[in-house]
Amino acid sequence: MSEPSKGVPSDAELAELSREELVRLGTELDDVELVKYQDRFPVKGTRAEKRAERQVAGWFLLAGLSGLAFLGLYLFWPNEYQSPFAEGHFVYSLYTPLIGATLGLSVLAIGVGVISYAKKFVPEEEAVQQRHNGGSEEIDKKTTAALLADAGQRSGIARRSMIKRSAGFGAGVFGLGVGVFALGGLVKNPWAEGETPDSLWHTGWMHTSDNEKVYLRRDTGDPGEVSLVRPEDIQAGGFETVFPFRESERGDHDALYYALRRSDNPVMLIRLRPGSEPVKRKGQEDFNYGDYYAYSKICTHLGCPTSLFEQQTGRLLCPCHQSQFDVVNTYAKPVFGPATRSLPQLPIDIDEDGFLVARSDFIEAVGPGFWERKS
Ligand code: FES
């Protein structure tokens, strides 16, 4: 074992030193000159100290209350989608700003509370120190830990129960809020809506029990204007984005708007060039109508719209992370990029009036995650 250098106590002497002595030793060893090191409130229990304590506790209390408000809003504020034409739209539209503002205020109040605690109670220190190279030695670590503990003790945190309780309340509620926020999206009952298009198991292409026809319509920019798609509307090698439409929805602005907005509804209708002879997926050999193939537009990686179709290669491209789905050779399997699942194919046909219709809903999950299927 090497001898301790001059001015450095041995291990035995070090173990005997009090915290205050360790603080002093630490500064001396580091060539630190403590120009100022004093308690913020040398006289305990003054009105000024109590006022400072109340201010810090007030911030933590605010953090806790806004965290509670966030939890309440997140759990109970109406957040089911309402179209701009529906009566409850205004209340629904406040949901995101309100949960953002309350969670933000909670984070801010915790931050301000911690900073004001440090400014008001941790000893005021001004030090001048020479800079050294390399890592810290054991003695430095020990004396630094003593310095931190000393500052903690002098700040009086142990006896400031108001601050401790309010900080516990603020941080506890905030932590709870973050936990609920992270897991809340999973707390949904997939069976709650029964066998309807609103169920998590289905998309807007589902056929209801009365077997009403579901047409392919385009988005003209006006939700009330219904423009149905006929095969001859699309040129060979072309494509169009389509959405579901039922005759019973005609004139119902809410339903028409919702069908265009619902995240799992968009479908890419592709007309392959004649003679393409695509490979078909087992069990889905009759999902196409002639050269017309309909695939979910929602990328199976993270849900971006796969809005580019390259007719030379027959690939659908997702612009977000460059996944490519080969429609011609591998029935929309990903052949490049991070996506790992094929785009689901929608079975289509033509009705007696010459309009393209969906024969049923998709037979597999659309997009990247089951729990995100709606809204
Ligand atoms: S979302 Fe399409 S590649 Fe990532």
Supply 81's token pair: 């989608």
- Which is the closest atom of ligand 1 to the Cα of 303? 1
User: Residue 293: how many CB atoms within 10 A of its CB?
Assistant: 25
Please state, for a pLDDT cut of 90, what percent of the chain lies above it.
Answer: 45
CA of 302 to the centre of ligand 1 (A): 5
Q: Output the residue whose Cα is nearest ligand 1's atom 4.
A: 321
Q: Output the residue whose Cα is nearest ligand 1's atom 1.
A: 302
CA of 220 to the centre of ligand 1 (A): 26
The pLDDT of residue 328 is above 70: yes
Q: Output the residue whose Cα is nearest ligand 1's atom 3.
A: 321
Name the residue with tokens 């001859």: 232
**What was the pLDDT predicted at 375?**
44
The pLDDT of residue 373 is above 60: no
Contacts with 270 (C-beta within 8 Å, 6 or more apart), sequence order: 238, 239, 292, 293, 294, 295, 309, 316, 327
Run of H or E residues at 32? strand 32-38
Supply 278's token pair: 């695509």
Highest mean pLDDT among 57-66, 82-91, 133-142, 184-193: 57-66
CA of 333 to the centre of ligand 1 (A): 13
**What was the pLDDT predicted at 36?**
81
Q: How far apart are CA 329 and CA 322, in angstroms?
A: 18
Confidence of residue 1 (pLDDT cuts 50, 70, 90): very low
**What was the pLDDT predicted at 232?**
94
The pLDDT of residue 94 is above 90: yes
Q: How many residues does the chain have?
A: 375
Residue type, 78: P
302 in ligand 1 pocket by Cβ < 6 Å?
Answer: yes
301 in ligand 1 pocket by Cβ < 6 Å?
Answer: yes
The pLDDT of residue 4 is above 80: no
299 in ligand 1 pocket by Cβ < 6 Å?
Answer: yes
The pLDDT of residue 202 is above 60: yes
CA of 222 to the centre of ligand 1 (A): 28
318 in ligand 1 pocket by Cβ < 6 Å?
Answer: yes
- Which is the closest atom of ligand 1 to the Cα of 318? 2
CA of 305 to the centre of ligand 1 (A): 8
**What was the pLDDT predicted at 5?**
55
- pLDDT (mean) for 205-222: 91
CA of 373 to the centre of ligand 1 (A): 16
The pLDDT of residue 273 is above 50: yes
Q: How far apart are CA 20 and CA 36, in angstroms?
A: 15
How confident is the prediction for the chain on average, in pLDDT? 87
**What was the pLDDT predicted at 150?**
86
Q: In this predicted structure, which of 87-101, 179-193, 238-252, 354-368 has the lowest mean pLDDT?
A: 179-193
Helices (H), 155-301: 161-184, 253-261
Residue type, 368: P
Q: Give tens-digit pLDDT for 297-315.
A: 999 998 899 988 988 888 9
Supply 275's token pair: 């003679």
Q: How far apart are CA 65 and CA 299, in angstroms?
A: 40
Confidence of residue 187 (pLDDT cuts 50, 70, 90): low
- pLDDT (mean) for 321-336: 92
pTM (global) more than 0.85:
no
- Which is the closest atom of ligand 1 to the Cα of 306? 2
